[in-house]
Amino acid sequence: MTAYSGFAKIYDAYMQAEDYDRWLMGIQALIKEYGVPTKHVLELACGSGAMSVLLAKQGYDVIGLDISEEMLMVAKDKALEERVRIGFFQQDMVNYELNNTFDTVLCICDGMNYVLEEEDLESVFERVHHSLTDKGLFIFDISTYYKLKYILGESTIAESREDSAFIWENFYDEDESILSFELTVFTEENGVYRRSDEVHEQRAYKIADIKRLSEDYFEWMTVVTDTFDVIDVKNYDEETMTNERVFFVLKKK
C-alpha cells in the first residue's frame, strides 16, 4: 500500500506526543519576527490537518495540500468537527499548482524528508517561491540526519492499544541517505483486526544541503530547534549534535 493509507486511520492517536500547540506558538513568533503580516497560509504535506486546523482557529485563511487521499479525508472531518473552513487539495508538493498567493508557506512534521531527490526538493523551493507574496516566508522542518541515521536507523518500534497496533521496522541506507520503514498496522473493525502494510521512505538531508538547494530562491533567516532555540549553524556538527528536528525560516528573494 502507499504511505499513509492504513496508517491514516490511527495517525492522530499515535502522534499525540507531538506538541502542535507549542509549534503553533513558535511559528507565529517566527512570522512576527521575520515575516510580512500574514493572513493567507499554505500548508504543504498537511497530513491529517492538525496544524491547518489550529491555524484556521487563529483566524488565518488556510489551504492544505497532501498527496494522501486517506489523510485528507481525516483532515476534512477534523475541520468539519472544529467548524473551520479550510480548502484541502490532493496534490504532490513537488509539482503542485495553485492560483493563490500566500504570505507564509509551511511544511512541518517531516514533509520535506519525504522528497527523496535533490532536484525534486529544489522544485519544491521553486514552487513555494512562486506561491509567496513579496518577502513571504517559507517555514519548514526536517527530521535530522542524526535522527534518521542514529535514532531510527536499524530499529524496530511497536505499540499496541485497545483498538489498534503497529510494527515499524527501519532500515537506513548510508550510500543513498535514505531511511526506509516498513509499517504494519492493525485496526479493529467490528471485533475483527484488519492488517495493512505500507512502506515509507525519507531522505536524511543535512543543513548544508538545504542551504545549497534553496539559495537561488530564498534568503536565509534562521534555523531553530523544535523548542525554537537558535542553532549556531557554523558550528553545527551533523554527526554529533543530537537535535532530532530542526525548523528553517527562509524569506523569498
pLDDT attached to residue 8 = 58
Q: What's the rounded mean pLDDT across residues 8-37?
A: 81
Which residue is listed with cell 486546523? 53
- C-beta of residue 159 within 8 angstroms of C-beta of residue 14: yes
- C-beta of residue 82 within 8 angstroms of C-beta of residue 115: no
Domain boundaries, the chain: 6-144+206-252, 147-202
Q: Give φ, ψ of 44 to 5 degrees.
A: -85, 150
Q: What pLDDT digit, counting tens, does each position of 53-63 carry?
A: 999 999 999 99
**pTM recorded for the entire structure:** 0.92
What are the start-end ranges of the H helices in 41-164? 50-57, 69-82, 118-131, 145-146
Average pLDDT, the chain: 91
- CATH number attached to the domain at 6-144+206-252: 3.40.50.150
Reference 29, options 251, 228, 236; nearest CA is 228
Task: Using the predicted structure, report yes or no on whether residue 2 has a pLDDT greater than 80.
Answer: no
- C-beta of residue 160 within 8 angstroms of C-beta of residue 188: no
- C-beta of residue 198 within 8 angstroms of C-beta of residue 3: yes
pLDDT attached to residue 16 = 57
Residue 83, class by beta-carbon neighbours within 10 Å (0-12 exposed, 13-18 middle, 19+ buried)?
A: exposed
pLDDT class of 83 with cuts at 50, 70, 90: very high
Q: What pLDDT digit, counting tens, does each position of 184-222 carry?
A: 888 877 878 888 888 889 999 999 999 999 999 999 999
CA–CA separation, 156 vs 139, rounded Å?
Answer: 31
pLDDT class of 17 with cuts at 50, 70, 90: low
Amino acid identity of residue 107, one-letter, is: C
pLDDT attached to residue 183 = 83
CATH number of this structure's domain 147-202, picked from the four choices 2.20.25.110, 3.30.565.10, 2.40.10.220, 2.40.110.10: 2.20.25.110
